[in-house]
Amino acid sequence: MEELFEKWAGEPCVNKIQLTANGSNRLYYRLEGATKSCIATINDDVKENEAFFFFADEMRRRNVKVPEIYAVSDDKTTYLQQDLGNVSVYTYISSRKTNGVDTTEPMRHYYRMAIDDLVMMQDSCRDIDFSHAYSRPAFDKRAILWDLNYFKYYFLKLFHVQYDEELLEQDFQTFAEYLALDDCDYFMFRDFQSRNIMIVDEELYYIDFQGARRGAAQYDLASLLYSSKSDVPDSLRLELLDYYLSVREQRDKSFDRNTFTKKYYGYVLVRMMQAMGAYGYRGVIEKKEYFIKSIPYAVNNLRNILKDHQLPISIPHLVEIWERICEMPEYSGEKEKLTVSVFSFSYRKGLPFDKSGNGGGFVFDCRMLPNPGLYDEYKSLNGRDKEVVEFFEQHPETEDFLVLVRQLVGSAVKSYIERDYTRLMVNFGCTGGRHRSVYCAEQLAKYIRDNYDCNVTLHHLEQSKL
């Protein structure tokens, strides 16, 4: 990477800073020399890189503001691109929101600029050769079904939302066929949202377009206005939708806003499901808590869409699932009792992951306690079995440990209830996750249930072996 920089810049790299990549497995670095800087990207997926190079060149030739590619390694896994700074539309607006500044006007300003560019982009890039797209040239029925199944496997399954496999598959087919019948011959950026729009000298530049393809014009507008944590007010969404329609009418006299809006909210919903699948995959599987924290925003958007808009097709089971998600206690928006989640785990397998997005809670190491697993008569048993319980009761140091745990966790539970907190996680770990951690988790869960007005869930992560 540094050698590639020196070859391009004609000067050595004197500073290398790794940058955050929220939703990507790519690695990003800011490389700086005495007079030049760039962003270095490392990605082993060569086909994805080639799509990025291709679209960057094609979009720049059509006057779309995208980063310039400076240099590419021989194996195409590392490349240098223009440094557009650190300020995206998302970070600009979020920083002002954090400081208590009204963000309506800057959001309106930059989103209208982005919509102007989007309309131009959708038309001027329509003639691109999409055979270079990654991983599919068009957002057609098959691609829509991929996103719907992504939602099924990485959201519904991971968050234990009940569904009927056959009924859901029927509704997926109906939904995909309905969307794919629309005019899908526009340039589709694919991830057109405020994090991918950089502000440079009051101009907007666009990044992360390696997933571009041919598709419906509604999709990118839905991505922009319904990106979860951007949290665009509903009134401004309607205003910006009308602005998009007006810009398109001015550009294309044959454009019919009624035809566009007829399927617009269908694309909003499919984009939401794709995003929720990503939140599950990135949040639960890859353990990136930022994505878990995006889920309440997505569910609130889903709730508002279901309240105000009805699709002209019959997908009853999918609608039932959407409603079920909106009724999940953690996303209901109603005041919720504290839930204390108590886990036992094996240190060999690693710490449990907190799906609430709060980053976890207490972790108690039970390996200091007497270990019944060292004795043949207890090896096949677990911390819930009578013989193991009696073993621990015969060792007073176990109760001494639990007294301290109850005092510490009890104080936290009391405080959390008073402050209307809704999630607390308590973890007990031992070597195998079968005896000491299970016993302690069982004892604490009983203590909390008996003494506090809250919900308690108990999870033994090695339960398949118990």
Q: What is the mean pLDDT of the chain?
A: 93
Rounded to a whole number of angstroms, the CA Rg of the chain reads 26
What pLDDT, in 10s, does the model give residues 288-322?
878 888 899 999 999 999 999 999 999 999 999 99
**pLDDT > 80? residue 464:** no
176 Cβ partners below 8 Å, 6+ apart? 141, 144, 145, 148
Whole-model pTM: value is 0.76
- Which candidate, 23, 450, 405, 81, places its Cα nearest to that of 227? 23
What pLDDT, in 10s, does the model give residues 163-207?
999 999 999 999 999 999 877 899 999 999 999 999 999 999 999
Q: What is the crossing angle of helices 257-280 and 234-251, to 10°?
A: 130
Domain 2-81 has CATH 1.20.59: no
The pLDDT score that the predictor gives to residue 330 is 73
Looking at domain 89-331, its CATH class is alpha beta
pLDDT band at 228 (very low <50, low <70, confident <90, very high): confident
- Locate CATH 3.90.1200.10 in the chain: 89-331
The pLDDT score that the predictor gives to residue 334 is 59
**Distance between CA atoms of 121 and 124, rounded to whole angstroms?**
5
The pLDDT score that the predictor gives to residue 335 is 60
**pLDDT > 70? residue 388:** yes
- Locate CATH 3.30.200 in the chain: 2-81
* 339-346 β-sheet, strand order: 362-365, 423-430, 339-346, 455-460
Which of 21-25, 65-69, 228-232 has the weakest average pLDDT? Answer: 21-25
The pLDDT score that the predictor gives to residue 75 is 97
